[in-house]
């Protein structure tokens, strides 16, 4: 009645627990259950996420044919398709310039796979994060042109690269940009397809770059078929088979799982479960992925390993793996990425410890600071985004981590819901505080001179203080339903999964377990806390909280042996030796009193 779930006004993590489902949603859930026979828990999950009773069936089984828009709705898509078709028909060499993250690797592989099936030669260039930095650069462009490329296609980058792309045109290359990052008002004078450019009215701004590339290939395939390039006897490649790459990029880039993206990920996961792409199969094996692949695996097991190449190793290794057709080479590349990922973990841990020490000194005893900005002369530029994520997670406010090499630093920022970091960074570029920068609402990249570090900090505080305060004041842990340990069955887990895939825009359901007694609490790997909890009916469940040993949640769990706590977390399936066990991934806890 007071609006707090289980009366938790302030949890161990300092959050209020709120019911995700309001009174209006209760009515929608009842209608779904009574009219369409949807299980009650699924109906509640859908209603809490704004799904109407009439739209429930389509939400549970999103179909590409129903959600696929006409790609020509995107600004400049007609020009991009015409130029790509010209390159295919005349057999030009195409240079594909991608970003060094999962979205860039998947987008590059997706486009390369298609043009290769058309008989086109291509070159993929993924820039080195340290020596080249983000986006097209003059040296790489000149090299690609010297290798015979007449068409340059940038994927997951290029929207803000005015000067480098002007150079490409000056030396005789045509340019197509396929991107999704937020765009400034002034754009490069090239063919630019980006649903987030300010004059694009497609409403598809939630797509990642791989989604934009896939729509481009849908339009290109149709154009080539109408031209006669493809026929009934030679229909060309099945574009559906590339949705494993689109799904991987969508989840790893934390794109909202709404609209077309839901269909992309759901269908892409179905394709991935067939394990037909050698590179992904090898990566699943080296990551010891057990059980059916799901969105969690894409974001936390496969994605980080592909990213590891771009962070601290060979930036193009991920794209090559996704295209690999030799099983032995795929296994070797996957193992190389796995090793790089382990090295990345060590480097990240050292930098995070330094960044947290700097953040603690900056915050002191005050909780009023809006944004955390940390820097290190010895930090690896490839891990600053991960450091920023850890800072954001720990201190619950936007955070930047900047690696300085001499007088210039490259950094990444991560935001909290309700604070548009990409817009702030673009404004900082326009005011001259940053050499360059860009991104989207939840993440941004920057380059700045060391003398501007202090002014940049002050400017962020001035610009974002009020919006961060509002965002933090409105935050809460939203609970979907109460559950006891005995009710956390595999059947319930599978029922809940029907409302997935879960991720950005469709949050993983949070369940509260009221007044469960902590029977055991142990520390794993000096960081995680694992517990066994018992319900009043004496049923039990295992739960784990990651990276919390030195945090309030971890300390509260360890101190509560033999006592009762309200627990909150997500259900997960632990597959081991052919058996499945349901456990709770803990997010918070509170004392019943």
Domain with 504 in it: what CATH number?
2.40.50.460
Choosing from 473, 490, 525, the residue where a domain stops is 473
2 occurs within a structural domain: no
Q: pLDDT at position 349, please?
A: 92
Same domain, 385 and 303: no
360 occurs within a structural domain: no
Same domain, 484 and 452: no
351 occurs within a structural domain: no
CA distance 563 to 560: 5
Same domain, 311 and 420: no
202 occurs within a structural domain: yes
Strands 436-440 and 564-576: unpaired
Q: pLDDT at position 2, please?
A: 62
Choosing from 284, 315, 336, the residue where a domain stops is 336
For 245, the domain range is: 67-336
Q: Which residues contact 389 (CB under 8 A, 6 or more apart)?
A: 399, 414
Choosing from 436, 453, 473, the residue where a domain stops is 473
Q: Is the confidence at residue 576, as pLDDT, over 80?
A: no
Q: Is the confidence at residue 1, as pLDDT, over 70?
A: no
55 occurs within a structural domain: no
Q: What's the predicted TM-score (pTM) here?
A: 0.91
Written as six digits, the tokens of 70 are: 């006409």
- Owner of token pair 């410890």: 353
Q: Is the confidence at residue 19, as pLDDT, over 80?
A: yes
Q: pLDDT at position 440, please?
A: 84
| CATH code of 205's domain | 3.90.1640.30
CA distance 411 to 388: 9
341 occurs within a structural domain: no
Q: How many domains does the chain have?
A: 3
Q: pLDDT at position 17, please?
A: 96
Q: At what angle do helices 209-227 and 259-272 cross, to 10 degrees?
A: 80
CA distance 531 to 541: 8
The model's confidence at residue 575, banded by pLDDT at 50, 70 and 90, is confident
Average pLDDT over residues 99-103: 95
Same domain, 260 and 398: no
- Owner of token pair 């179905």: 270
Same domain, 87 and 221: yes
Model pLDDT for residues 33-77, shown as the tens digit of each residue: 999 999 999 999 999 999 999 999 999 999 999 999 999 999 999
The model's confidence at residue 281, banded by pLDDT at 50, 70 and 90, is very high
Q: pLDDT at position 29, please?
A: 94
Percentages (nearest 5) of helix, strand, coil residues in the chain: 45, 20, 35
Same domain, 450 and 486: no
CA distance 338 to 58: 38
59 occurs within a structural domain: no
54 occurs within a structural domain: no
| CATH code of 433's domain | 3.10.310.30
Average pLDDT over residues 407-430: 94
Model pLDDT for residues 171-208, shown as the tens digit of each residue: 999 999 999 998 989 999 999 999 999 999 999 999 99
């Amino acid at each position: 009645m007071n609006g707090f779930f289980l009366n938790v006004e302030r949890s161990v993590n300092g959050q209020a627990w709120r019911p995700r489902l309001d009174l209006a949603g209760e009515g929608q859930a009842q209608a779904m259950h009574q009219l369409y026979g949807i299980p009650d828990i699924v109906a509640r999950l859908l209603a809490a996420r704004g799904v109407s009773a009439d739209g429930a069936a389509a939400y549970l089984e999103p179909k590409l044919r129903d959600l696929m828009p006409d790609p020509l709705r995107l600004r400049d898509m007609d020009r991009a398709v015409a130029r790509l078709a010209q390159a295919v028909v005349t057999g030009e060499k195409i240079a594909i310039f991608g970003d060094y993250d999962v979205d860039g690797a998947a987008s590059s592989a997706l486009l390369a796979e298609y043009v290769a099936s058309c008989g086109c030669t291509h070159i993929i260039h993924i820039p080195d994060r340290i020596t080249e930095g983000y986006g097209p650069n003059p040296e790489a462009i000149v090299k690609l042109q010297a290798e015979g490329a007449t068409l340059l296609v940038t994927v997951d980058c290029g929207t803000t690269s005015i000067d480098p792309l002007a150079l490409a045109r000056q030396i005789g290359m045509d340019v197509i940009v396929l991107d999704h990052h937020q765009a400034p008002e002034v754009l490069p004078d090239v063919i630019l397809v980006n649903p987030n450019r300010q004059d694009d009215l497609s409403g598809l701004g939630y797509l990642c770059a791989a989604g934009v590339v896939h729509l481009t290939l849908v339009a290109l395939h149709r154009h080539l078929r109408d031209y006669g390039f493809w026929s009934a006897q030679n229909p060309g490649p099945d574009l559906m088979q590339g949705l494993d790459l689109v799904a991987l990029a969508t989840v790893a880039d934390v794109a909202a799982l709404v609209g077309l993206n839901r269909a992309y990920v759901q269908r892409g996961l179905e394709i991935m479960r067939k394990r037909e792409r050698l590179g992904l199969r090898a990566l699943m094996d080296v990551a010891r992925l057990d059980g059916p692949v799901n969105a969690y695996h894409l974001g936390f097991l496969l994605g980080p390993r592909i990213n590891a190449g771009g962070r601290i190793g060979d930036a193009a290794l991920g794209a090559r793996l996704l295209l690999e057709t030799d099983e032995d080479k795929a296994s070797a590349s996957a193992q190389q990425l796995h090793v790089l990922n382990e090295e990345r973990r060590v480097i990240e841990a050292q930098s995070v410890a330094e960044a947290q020490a700097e953040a603690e000194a900056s915050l002191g005893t005050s909780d009023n600071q809006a944004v955390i900005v940390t820097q290190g002369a010895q930090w690896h530029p490839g891990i600053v985004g991960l450091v920023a994520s850890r800072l954001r997670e720990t201190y619950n406010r936007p955070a930047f981590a900047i690696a300085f090499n001499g007088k210039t630093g490259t950094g990444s920022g991560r935001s909290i819901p309700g604070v548009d970091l990409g817009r702030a960074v673009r404004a900082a570029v326009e005011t001259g505080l940053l050499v360059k920068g860009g991104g989207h609402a939840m993440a941004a990249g920057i380059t700045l001179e060391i003398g501007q570090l202090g002014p940049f900090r002050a400017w962020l505080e001035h610009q974002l203080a009020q919006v961060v305060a509002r965002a933090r004041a409105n935050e809460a842990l939203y609970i979907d339903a109460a559950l006891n340990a005995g009710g956390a069955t595999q059947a319930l887990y599978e029922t809940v999964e029907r409302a997935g895939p879960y991720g950005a825009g469709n949050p993983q359901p949070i369940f509260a377990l009221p007044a469960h007694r902590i029977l055991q609490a142990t520390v794993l790997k000096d960081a995680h806390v694992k517990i066994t909890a018992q319900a009043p009916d004496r049923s039990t469940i295992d739960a784990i909280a990651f990276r919390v040993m030195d945090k309030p949640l971890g300390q509260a769990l360890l101190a509560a042996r033999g006592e009762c706590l309200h627990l909150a977390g997500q259900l997960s399936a632990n597959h081991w030796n052919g058996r499945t066990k349901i456990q709770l991934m803990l997010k918070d806890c509170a004392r019943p009193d």
